[in-house]
Structure 1
Amino acid sequence: MALPSSLRALRYYNFRLYFVGQAVSLIGTWMQRLAVSWLVYTITHSAFWLGVVAFAGQIPILLLSPYAGAYVDRHSRYRTLLKTQIASMVQAGLLALIVFINFYNIAAIIFLSVALGIINAFDTPARQSMMIVLVREKTDLPNAIALNSSMVTLARLIGPAAGGILLSSYGEDVCFFLNFISFVAVIGSLLMMKIKVPERTKPKEHIWQNLHAGYQYLKHHNGLRSAILHIALISLLAMPYSTLLPLYAKTVFKGDVTTFSWLNSISGLGALLGAIFMANLKTGRNLLRIIIYATLLFCICLSIFSFNKDFDIALLFIMLAEAGMLAMIAATNTFIQTNVDEKMRGRVISYYVMAFQGMQPIGSLLVGASAHYFTGPHTVLIEGIAGTVVTLCFIPYFKRARKEQPKPIVVLEER
């Protein structure tokens, strides 16, 4: 039976395995994220410490991503991904253990958050670079990226909802343990894949020369450079608002862990809507224009959400904001993946990861400090306005980049 065009990437055996394994694992990951945020806020009652823990978990990505991208280009993406998933499973197990034995120590949580950040610095460029191997035809790559985004956001919808129930009924340790178990699915799917992994020839250049080559490549590609700089600024100024959701749940909406779970789940629903939109996008659409419109939707709705004390209306605007944010992320990722030379894929994706995920820890630290000394709603309002201004400033750069004809990329075998 032929698959609908919106699901066409699932006809590839390896991508199907990846899709199912990641879906199960990511549900566990979102359960853990929810539990960590709630645990930190329950222990400290401080927005500042929420920012510190978020900073600790993501700052390694900013510092290590360029090196990690060069590493991925020099080694097997498949084997790198397998190792990072095993390491993530160990991290989740240790987190479950310290909570199970009632070792509620903020320093231990920060240490394990840093460890996970180091793992993710290598995991993300390896995972993103694998996409071109899992889906052999370049024409199906945008659909694979969109389906991957849909899977991630579906997990983001289910994970917090399930996590909220488990958290209120059984506690944080159950959420952490189930995340530990969920890695069996993704590791098993990787082992079942039919991918030839020949040994890479040892490069003559030093890895830092490879890293510099990636930087020089971006300097001469206006479209890629503009897309990465744009998402870097949005990641710094607007995306870290989610750090303050526990504060909103307790102080703005006067709720509990169920309120926090609703905020996260509705955010996931909005992101899923954005992913569905991208999955049904026709080939040849102007991705740079979609990035602009989607970011404006995200930032404007975020500004409206900031001071809204009606919970139902707040959920509506946070859902629309997340739909815009997901569409922006997926459009940026698709634009980069379809316009980068294959030999530079790992390095360019690492700069994208550094911009997307690496700038968020700095933003989280600033957001936590701002909400600690001022208020959460004032901080989120400033984030929404700042993101809107940045996006409007990038319109001329995107128009200029649109006039450039991207060079075709060559799809190669995994090496």
Structure 2
Amino acid sequence: MSLPLADSPIRPPARSSDVRGPFLFGLAACMIGFGGFIAFSAAVPVASAVVAPGVVAAETDRKKVQHLEGGIIEGVFVQEGQAVQQGDVLFRLAPVQAETGANLLENQAASNKALLARLLAERDGLEAPDFSALDAGSKVMSQAIADQGRQFQERRASLAAQTATLGLRQKQATEEIDGRTRERAANAQQLALIETELLDAQKLFDLKLIVKSRVLALQREQARLIGEIGRADADIARAGSTVQEIQSQISELLQRYAEKVSEDLRTVRDQLNDIDVKRRNAADVLRRVDIKAPRTGVIQALGVTTIGEVIQPGAMLLEIAPTDEGILVNARIKPQDVDGIRVGLEAQLRMTALPHRTTPTLSGSIVSFSRDRIVERHGEEPYFLARVRLSEANVPAEVHGRVSPGMPVDVIVPTRERTLLSYLVEPLSDAFARAFRER
């Protein structure tokens, strides 16, 4: 048996150099963990959403208040930021010009109505115009009735005088015809007697019982009577033509009178229709002397504050931001985020202008979405406009009163659900899809 040397070092027992067990254990743990993560990523859904900036807007735009005719401001009854109800009087214009125009048209209407009554009486041959349908209580109307009644009598008398003059001439011509007819009859009777006497005298002259001068005297009387009868016939014919001519003149006079009355009737009716339209317009202008709020809302951009100020036709006086309508949010969606955005999607609204701790996330839905991108000014980033209607039933009363047009909003629109694995792999797959394309 040999003993170890005294100077030989004492060595510890050798450790086992086999590490495969822990390594395999760690590798298995990593693979199990990675596989579990992959399985978890493939199974767990993750909601995808688009976040877009937005602005609260009224359901309709602010209403501009203008005046069609313009005028002079007589009263200002509102201030900037004041709440008004639909129908409240905002301004009052001086009514002088509108009232003057309306009164002038009333006077024209009264005169034309009285004129119409007079013309109808002349057309129908009445003894006097019928003014019973007119309001004689008006001073203007009573004066118009008096004027037209007087004109009716004057025109009636003038027509009667003209027809009477022509009738007198016609009567004289008729009397001349009667007289000459009687003269002709007498001459014809005398001629018949002379002819009988001449026949007897001729027989006696042939028997030499009377002288020739007696026969010649009877022949001269016969010739004279024949001439008188011829002149009577000519006078009767001339007088007959005069009677016919005068009758034609009377008929023509009455026809011209009737045609003039008919023409005046058409003219006055057209004028009354035109005046009626102008009166309605004038009444409308007079009603617009009081400029009223077209809707309920808050006064903004008040441009008229001074009494006596002249406003031009169509000038903008103020704007009214509506407060009685539903609230919409105009959200600007980036072009790369439009996939999956459609009308009807639910959206979450965060009012960034209100305290986050006390303001809940509001809900809404997309009611419209632009079909093409919008570029407002050159150099600005284009966007798609999505209009989100706020679900007011879910808005607390204390929040609803603080939401007003113009407030900034963050709009969150959930678009689709996908797994965590697809969420992680999609950027890599997109990069590969772009990288392995030939140029």
Q: TM-score, normalised by structure 1?
A: 0.19
Higher fraction of strand: 2
Q: TM-score, normalised by structure 2?
A: 0.18
Q: Which has the larger radius of gyration?
A: 2
Higher fraction of helix: 1
